[in-house]
Amino acid sequence: MRRLVMTALAVATLATAAPARAAETVVPPSQAALVYSFAPLVKRVSPAVVNVYASRTVRQRVSPFMDDPFFRQFFGGGGFATRPRVQQSLGSGVIIDKSGVVVTNYHVIANADEVKVALADKRELAADIVMKDERMDLAVLRLKGGSGDFPTIAFADSDALAVGDLVLAIGDPFGVGQTVTSGIVSALARTQIGASDYQFYIQTDAAINPGNSGGALVDMEGRLVGINTAIYSRSGGSIGIGFAIPSNMVRVVVAAALTGKRVQLPWIGADFQQVTPDLAAGLGLDRARGALVASVADGSPAETAGLRAGDLVVSADTVDVDDPPSLNYRLVTKGIGSTVELGVIRGGRAEKATIALQAAPEVPPRDERVISIESPFAGATVVNLSPAVIADLGYKGRRSKGVLIEKIAEGSIAAGVGFQAGDVIVEVNGVPVDATRTLEDLARQRFDLWRLAIERDGRLIRSTIGG
């Protein structure tokens, strides 16, 4: 049976130098030493772990025939009644500030119209969404009402974790109520789990199940080391392979949210690629490791620091770098305005490159436009490509300039044509689309046929549709 990586959803900081560990961990010396209980620790931290209920109202067609393309072709979308239907999801969250600031996963509250939080003491409070960041799969909520003196869990330095450390996972799996499971840190720096370029997970064998998303992973001092987010499973239930977002990343997201901003991703102006076993052999490495510099932008911090295409980045501030996502994680948790010393292998020699981390430039200006003119693009929100847009929206194509579709309105002409968020519009009837204003001008024209060229996932797609 095919294995799946599943987000543990419902059934339906900035990092600083890692401090020395508080005490050296030891193997229990005797059988008697194994007689212990997590109860005092659980009693102290569990009040700060909450249940998160998210709901969204959607319109659903009363007639099932409208799901058939044949009937839609002849009868269109009009004249068929719809009725409201409430979609609900359940997850967990962690209170990290006495004023009622809660951290959970983005996928728990994505597209929610209403969010409620149930506390361990049985109170249920409404919550505002302060910030949600799909790139990091994190969201920050603020509780409304209550005493304003909520129980909290303090952050730990997740970089101080070691494989084998004991941890507890606390959440609400399958909606049965708050549940605590124990395990160890199975692995660190897992980066091949999801689609994000900033993934960097703690792996644990503490049972994590659907509904645990957004819950707490805590160490033996009761500090938050991670936010539980995903499981690796064949059946949908826990098989002992769970993943949590490190607290050092959570801390960065919360700090940005409380200042009313999204996380700004540091930009150094270099593109990196994965080192495969074949590449490793060609580079004379003993194993596949590091982030290979594919290109360096003119005038960028990377160029100023002397980084070149073909360099292999193997460390960041003396911490080993295994691949591009782990390098991105180090840059994000380091933060804009700081510097990072990269360990580089160039021509078989070890080099150093000190790079200043800055915000990605928005050149050309984003110039966001919603195309409302009747055309194949009606309902599309488009922006000009720039390093800032590429970083914000996670664009993975090959182009550095052009017009990117940021989002598509549900039920719009653009949605019917088949456009998708992330598409880059390259040409319309042979005219290069170099800016959002160019696309808007083209949309005003009347054509019998629209010959389109778009880039999707790095591939150029050409199609022709009637006017």
Quote the percentage of the chain above a pLDDT of 90. 58
pLDDT in the model for residue 23: 54
Q: How far apart are CA 253 and CA 111, in angstroms?
A: 19
Lowest mean pLDDT among 105-119, 235-249, 292-306, 443-457: 235-249
Return the exposure string of 367-386: e unless at least 16 CB atoms fall within 10 Å of the residue's CB, then b: eebbbeeebbbbbbbbbbbb
Q: Distances from the Cα of 237 to the Cαs of 1, 8, 209, 210, in angstroms?
A: 14, 9, 6, 7
Residue ranges of the domains in the chain? Answer: 266-359, 369-466
pLDDT in the model for residue 211: 82
Closest CA to 131 of 250, 9, 272, 276: 250
pLDDT exceeds 80 at position 296: yes
| Cβ–Cβ < 8 Å for 150, 95 | yes
Tokens matching residue 136:
């990091």
Q: Do domains 266-359 and 369-466 have the same CATH topology?
A: yes
pLDDT in the model for residue 6: 45
pLDDT exceeds 70 at position 28: no
In the beta sheet, which residues pair with residue 233? 4
Confidence of residue 200 (pLDDT cuts 50, 70, 90): confident
In the beta sheet, which residues pair with residue 191? none
Fold of 266-359: Pdz3 Domain (2.30.42)
Largest CA distance in the chain: 84
Q: How far apart are CA 287 and CA 170, in angstroms?
A: 37
Amino acid identity of residue 169, one-letter, is A
DSSP 40: H
* pLDDT single digits (tens) 216-251: 999 999 999 999 998 776 666 667 888 999 999 999
Amino acid identity of residue 87, one-letter, is Q
* pLDDT single digits (tens) 124-153: 999 999 999 888 899 999 999 877 789 999
Closest CA to 16 of 156, 200, 152: 156
Return the exposure string of 159-179: e unless at least 16 CB atoms fall within 10 Å of the residue's CB, then b: bebeeebebbbbbbbeeeebb
pLDDT exceeds 50 at position 19: no
Confidence of residue 71 (pLDDT cuts 50, 70, 90): very low
DSSP 18: P
pLDDT in the model for residue 112: 86
pLDDT in the model for residue 67: 54
Residues marked active site are found at 107, 137, 213
Read off the pLDDT of each residue in 419-429 and give the average, rounded to a whole number. Answer: 94
* pLDDT single digits (tens) 365-381: 999 999 999 999 999 99
pLDDT in the model for residue 192: 64
pLDDT in the model for residue 263: 84
CA 272 to chain centre: 19
> H helices of 38-144, where?
39-45, 69-75, 106-109
Lowest mean pLDDT among 91-95, 96-100, 190-194, 304-308: 190-194
pLDDT in the model for residue 394: 77
* pLDDT single digits (tens) 168-184: 999 988 778 889 999 99
Give the 3-state secondary structure percentages of the chain, helix then strand then coil, rounded to 5.
20, 35, 45
Q: Give the β-pairing of 270-274 and 266-267.
A: unpaired
Run of H or E residues at 255: helix 247-257
pLDDT in the model for residue 17: 38
Fold of 369-466: Pdz3 Domain (2.30.42)
* pLDDT single digits (tens) 255-274: 999 998 888 889 999 989 99
pLDDT in the model for residue 429: 94
Quote the percentage of the chain above a pLDDT of 70. 83
| Cβ–Cβ < 8 Å for 208, 145 | no
pLDDT in the model for residue 235: 64
Average pLDDT, the chain: 85
Lowest mean pLDDT among 72-76, 263-267, 268-272, 344-348: 72-76
